[in-house]
Amino acid sequence: MSNNNRVSVNIKNKIAYVKLNRADKKNAIDMAMFTAIKNTIKSLKKNRSIRAIILSGDGNDFCSGLDVSLFKSGSSAAKLLFKWHPWQANLAQFISTGWAQVPVPVIAAIHGRCWGGGLQIAFGADFRISTPDASIAILESKWGLIPDMGGTVAFKKHMTLDVTKELAMTGKELNGIEANKLGMITYVSEDPIERAEELAAEIIKQNPDAVAACKKLYNRSWHGSDGLALLREAYYQIRTFMGKNQRIKAYNQTHEIDQHREFKNRKNW
């Protein structure tokens, strides 16, 4: 299935392959791409046939950040920054924070440039896998700006405060290996798509209700009150335990254990 010429979506083996599709512009984000990513997130949020999402960029780069044409348009800036409620995400922020609303794991496969707004999109994913030679940067300071596309929410989950400040203030570029050491990248791989598929395959084996509950629980509770974290933990466990997918998973696991014991007994005999 395809959204439009800015973002393509193809579903195979319960995995939705989402690709930023503007290779000739290094997948720079213009208004059309902002809208396409928003619509993609909302569509995938409702899709119960998928179990994982792999997010990547077409061509030589994951995403080089904002299209410079946006800096010249006051109306575009207004559309991006407008929000009904101060505590909710505007359009610019939603294309990063919105991935948390999708009840399946999102894996960003990064290569080439992953700069500015592109990095904030990647940080909206649950996991990030990068080539060793990718170029990764919080690049907004080069334009005299701050990272304001939801990155603050994600950066604090994965990096220390001093490292985040340095990268945001200097616009320093890192390769995949350096970014991995700082907690920005989950895995480094010469083939991020293949590594993402391996990770997705492991997750797909599990109870989808438990996976969705884990994602929601940890996203909401990793920072903040311990009491609220314990409350959510108990609540999501009850919901998961009462679902049929838990019974299926438990039955299959018990069957595997019984088979393993039978094999060992025969071997010992």
pLDDT digits (tens, 9 = 90+) for 211-234: 999 999 998 888 776 677 667 657
**Per-residue tokens: 117:** 């707004």
Domains annotated on the chain, with CATH: 7-204 (3.90.226.10), 208-268 (no CATH)
Query: Per-residue pLDDT for 42 more than 60?
Result: yes
Answer with the residue of higher pLDDT: 266 or 149.
149
pLDDT digits (tens, 9 = 90+) for 230-243: 676 577 677 776 77
15 residue type, one letter: I
Check residue 2 and give its pLDDT.
45
- What band does 264 get if pLDDT is binned at 50, 70 and 90? low
- What band does 110 get if pLDDT is binned at 50, 70 and 90? very high
Answer with the residue of higher pLDDT: 10 or 89.
10
Query: Per-residue pLDDT for 265 more than 70?
Result: no
Asked if residues 137 and 118 have their Cβ atoms less than 8 Å apart, the reply is no
143-146 long-range Cβ contacts below 8 angstroms, 24+ apart: 143/71
Give the whole-number percent of the chain exceeding pLDDT 70: 80
* Residue 222 burial (CB count, 10 A): 10
- What band does 146 get if pLDDT is binned at 50, 70 and 90? confident
Sheet with 106-110, strands from edge to edge, namely 7-12, 15-20, 52-57, 106-110, 127-130, 187-188
Asked if residues 72 and 39 have their Cβ atoms less than 8 Å apart, the reply is no
pLDDT digits (tens, 9 = 90+) for 184-204: 999 999 999 999 999 999 999
Spell out a b/e string for 2-18, using b for 16 or more CB atoms within 10 Å of the CB, else e.
Answer: ebeebbbbeeeeebbbb
As a whole number, mean pLDDT of residues 158-162 equals: 92
Name the average pLDDT for the chain. Answer: 86
Phi, psi of 128 (to 5 degrees): -130, 125
CA atoms within 13 A on the CB side of 188: 16
Check residue 1 and give its pLDDT.
43
Q: Measuring CA to CA, which residue among 122, 120, 119 is closest to residue 54?
A: 122
Check residue 67 and give its pLDDT.
87
Answer with the residue of higher pLDDT: 243 or 50.
50
As a whole number, mean pLDDT of residues 33-45 equals: 95
**Per-residue tokens: 192:** 């991020």
* Of 135-144, 165-174, 259-268, minimum mean pLDDT range: 259-268
CA atoms within 13 A on the CB side of 125: 25
CA atoms within 13 A on the CB side of 183: 12
Q: Measuring CA to CA, which residue among 22, 114, 18, 110 is closest to residue 63?
A: 114
Query: Per-residue pLDDT for 62 more than 90?
Result: yes
Phi, psi of 113 (to 5 degrees): -80, 135
Check residue 76 and give its pLDDT.
60
Q: Measuring CA to CA, which residue among 72, 68, 70, 61 is closest to residue 91?
A: 70
Check residue 236 and give its pLDDT.
66
